[in-house]
Amino acid sequence: MPTASASTRRLALGDLLLASGAILPGACLDYRVYGTLAADRSNLVLYPSSYGAWPEDIDWVVGPILDPARWCVVLVSQFGNGRSSSPSTGEPGLAGGRWPVDHRDNVTAQLRLLEEVFGVTSPALIYGWSMGAQQAYHWAVLEPERTRRICCVCGSARTTPHNRVFLLSLRQALTADPAWDGSRFRGVPEQGLRTFALIYASWAASQPFYRRGAHQDLGYSSVDAYVEQAWLPAYRRHDPHDLLAMLDIWLANDVAAAAGIASGDPDADLARALGRIQARSAVIAGRHDLYFTPEDCAAEAAMIPGAHFEVLESDLGHRAGNPRDAPAEQRQLRAAVERLCTI
C-alpha cells in the first residue's frame, strides 16, 4: 500500500506560457512521491491524475500495481483538478466560458517538475488511466526521445466523436443550471451536479455491472441510492469551474493536433503522430469501457510501433482501469507493467 509518509508537495512554475499563447500566472503543480529515487535516477515512474481525481483517490495503485520498493512513483495532479493550477485557484478563469489549457501544458509542466526537482529527463515509465493515459500518449508523441515506456490504461490518444458526445452532455448538464451566467457560476449548480452525476454513473459503469447488481454488492439499496451517495459527492466536492476546465482539456485531447500535424485527413494525421512514438508501449482497454472501447484502443495501438495491446476482462466498465477493490484486474495491470519493464 502507499507509504503513509507521502505528503503533498508543490512546484512553483512562475508565469507559465501556455501552448495556446495565454499565460497561466503563478502556475504550480501539486505532486506526491512514493518510494526512493535510485542513485542513477533510473527508476522514476510518472503517474498523472485522471478526471476529477485527487491523489488520495488514486494513490492506492502504489503497491498493488506500482511497487514502491522498485519504483520512485511521482503522482502529479493535472492542471484543472483543483490541486495544481485550476480556475478555482486563480486566473485565467473560464474566458468565454472555456479554459485555455490542454495536455501540451501538462507535459511542459511535468517535464519541468522531473528536471528541476528530480534531475530526471527521461522517466522509466509513464503510467496513466483515463485522462492520465491521455497525458502519457502526449508525452510519447511530443517528447519521443525522452519517453522510454508508456502504459496507457483505458484512455485514448484522441477523443473520439462518441466520447465527445458524452463530454458535451456533462458540460451541458452543468452550464444549463441557473447558477451559470455564461462565464462563471454564481452559486452551487445543484441541479446541474445531480444531472452530471447521473450521466457519469450511466457511462462509467457497464451494463453487466448493473445487471448483476454490483451496486448492491457495494452496499447501495438501489441505483438511485448509488448515484446519490457515491457519485454525487464525488463531484459536488469539486469547484464546478474545475469540472468544466478538465472537460475542456479532455475535449481537446488529440496528439496529432498537439504535434502540429494537420493534413486534412484526421486518421492519417493520428497515424503519423502515433508513428512517432519510440517508447515501449502497452495499451490496455476495458472489455466493457463505454468511453474508450476495446475497438478504439486497439485501432490506436496498431498505429504505435511495437505496441502491446490487451483487454481487461472485467464488467467494471471504465473503472476496470482503476480497480481499487478488484484483485484480478489489479494482478493483470501489475503483470502488464512488469512485462513492459523487463527490458
C-alpha span between 17 and 183 (Å, rounded)? 22
DSSP 343: -
The answer for residues whose C-beta is within 8 angstroms of residue 174's C-beta and 6 or more apart is 180, 189, 192, 193, 196, 240, 243, 244
Residue-level pLDDT at 91? 81
Residue-level pLDDT at 343? 65
Tell me the three cell numbers of residue 334.
Answer: 501489475
C-alpha span between 342 and 225 (Å, rounded)? 45
8 A C-beta contact, residue 52 and residue 238: yes
Residue-level pLDDT at 5? 47
Residue-level pLDDT at 159? 98
Residue 30 has a CB neighbour count (10 Å cut-off) of 21
- Note if the pTM is more than 0.95: yes
8 A C-beta contact, residue 99 and residue 171: no
Residue-level pLDDT at 97? 79
Residue-level pLDDT at 70? 97
The backbone torsions φ and ψ at residue 157, rounded to the nearest 5 degrees and listed phi first, read -85, -20
The catalytically annotated residue of 84, 85, 86, 130 is 130
Q: What does the mean pLDDT of the chain come to?
A: 96
The catalytically annotated residue of 138, 238, 241, 318 is 318
Q: Is 318 a catalytic residue?
A: yes
What type of residue is 30? D
- Residues in the chain, pLDDT under 70: 1-5, 343
Pick the CATH number of 9-159+254-340 from 3.40.50.300, 3.40.50.1820, 1.25.40.20, 3.40.50.880: 3.40.50.1820
Q: Is 20 a catalytic residue?
A: no
The DSSP bridge partners found for residue 159 are: none
Residue-level pLDDT at 93? 80
The domain spans of the chain are 9-159+254-340, 163-248
What type of residue is 38? A
The catalytically annotated residue of 248, 289, 296, 315 is 289
